[in-house]
Amino acid sequence: MLRLPTYEELSKEQQHIFDLDLDGSHLVTGPPGSGKTVMAIYRAEMLHRTRNEPTLLLMYGRLLSRYSAVAVDDLRIESIVRNYHNWFREWFRETYSRPPPKEGLYGFDWHECIRMILQVPPPPKLQPHVIVDEGQDMPKEFYAVLRMISRTLTVFADENQQLTDERSTIVEIAAVTGISSMAHLDRNFRNTRAIAAVAAAFFTGAGAAPVELRNDAVDGDKPVLAADPALHATVTRLVNFERTNSRQQIGVLVPYVDQLKKIYNRLEGKTKSPVQVYLSEGMGPRHPVDFTSPGIKLISYKSAKGLEFDTVFLPELQANRADPEGVGFRMNMYVAVSRARSQLYLIYSGEGEPPVIKTLPLDLIDDWRD
């Protein structure tokens, strides 16, 4: 559940972002866990509450949009959190009475879109306040549209986390939008020191370096390594935890989709809150994940990007087929481990110790194995 911060919780650099002029446009950059999405939502809350004008918060991914939309509802503001792709399609249709020109199955023909928009410019400043999260994943042509229709535009981005080919660099975003006010978050606000230390142990040196913790980061309990005789024992552990900590958001992350189904079938009906599973496109029946409710969310490592949970379990480590020495394995573990705010459990089951355990920094972990 997202709530407003206490005054003391905001570090000096976050306070600076929090205090950015509400009647201005800004470009805020920062790496994973630096609090960009949270700051974007706070800004939407402040704009809506004090300006009483529509505020639009645009995001890239569907799961992340739902995660943030819930946080926005929790703050009781009417700002619209939208997936940028859907919003643009609807806006174009409403403005030009036709769908936007497409390229391929899902993409937009931006060249043609811009040509049409310049030919018949939209009414200016119709959308007073626009905030963009994960801005690096949206094309620069999209920013040209936003510049035309908004009075203030604030973009939160990290060009080291670009997912797609339609990406924009920070320089391009600044050039197209004309934003000159730049701010940067460079501290990890998500993890406790103990969890951040374990995550950093998986960093390979490729891509953005793990960021330093905020100066007043909490220590927290050490992550736990446990060995269960079989999956059913791990499931019992999960059920006990969930029923005792029934108000927590608990992420159970696995590398493969078949593991999601296996664990879900064993958990179903045993927990206090229904277990929710997220399957990415093409992997099976999809149901929206409800982040308003506490309980277990079963998600793959890849789909968990950008999300965070009070507690994360990484079960069935022995079933991970990736090369423990490989870069791919380590980066996946880095992403998975860093989803946990305050508690982290690494678990394997069965006989013997799987090779992946040798990659764990055991001096940073509470080893609960006999």
Partner 1 sequence: MPVSGLTKYSGDLQSLAPGRLILTSSGARPEWFDMRSRAESDTPVLLEIDLNPGADALDSVGSKVVGLIGVIPISRVVAIHFESEIGANEFLARKYENFDPAETRTSVSPQLFDNDLPSVDGLSGWLNSLSRPDRPSVEDVRASDGLAGALLMLLACPARSADELSVRAQILALLLSGPAEMSVDEIVSDALSIPEWLSDDERQDAVLLQAVVKTLSRMGPTSEVGARRVLAEMERAVHERIASDVIDRNLARVRSILNAETEIRPLTAAAGLRSAKALLLFLLRPSPIEVLSWASDMTGDPLAVSGASALCGLTCGAHPIPVTLRRKELATVVANVQAARLNRLSPHTVGDFTSGSPAQVGLESSRGRDGLVTSLYLGGAQVASVADPPDPNGT
Query: Which positions lie near partner 1, rule CB under 8 A?
Result: 3-9, 12, 15-16, 18-22, 45-46, 49-50, 192, 194, 218-222, 237, 239-241, 243-247, 342, 366, 368
Nearer residue to partner 1 within complex by CB, 118 or 218: 218
Residue 77, classed as helix, strand or coil, is coil
Nearer residue to partner 1 within complex by CB, 23 or 112: 23
Q: C-beta of 2: minimal distance to partner 1 in Å?
A: 11
Q: C-beta of 106: minimal distance to partner 1 in Å?
A: 38
State whether the Cα torsion 69-74-78-79 is positive or negative: negative
Nearer residue to partner 1 within complex by CB, 43 or 330: 43
Do residues 155 and 182 make contact, with C-beta atoms less than 8 angstroms apart? no
Nearer residue to partner 1 within complex by CB, 77 or 117: 77
Q: C-beta of 285: minimal distance to partner 1 in Å?
A: 30
Residue 183, classed as helix, strand or coil, is strand
Q: C-beta of 50: minimal distance to partner 1 in Å?
A: 4
State whether the Cα torsion 127-99-141-173 is positive or negative: positive
Q: Check residue 211 and report its DSSP letter.
A: P
DSSP run (H or E) holding 104: none
Q: C-beta of 276: minimal distance to partner 1 in Å?
A: 20
Q: Which runs of E-coded beta strand occur in the chain?
A: 26-29, 55-59, 80-83, 102-103, 107-108, 127-132, 150-157, 182-184, 187-188, 212-213, 224-228, 249-254, 276-277, 295-300, 309-314, 340-349, 366-367
Nearest residue to 352 via CA among 369, 333, 331 = 369
Nearer residue to partner 1 within complex by CB, 177 or 192: 192
Nearer residue to partner 1 within complex by CB, 109 or 310: 310
Residues recorded for the chain: 370
Q: C-beta of 156: minimal distance to partner 1 in Å?
A: 18
Backbone angles phi, psi at 353, to 5 degrees: -100, 120
Nearer residue to partner 1 within complex by CB, 141 or 310: 310
Q: C-beta of 157: minimal distance to partner 1 in Å?
A: 21
Q: CB under 8 Å to 369, separation ≥6 — which residues? A: 225, 226, 227
Q: C-beta of 28: minimal distance to partner 1 in Å?
A: 14
Q: CB under 8 Å to 290, separation ≥6 — which residues? A: 70, 276
Nearer residue to partner 1 within complex by CB, 38 or 176: 38
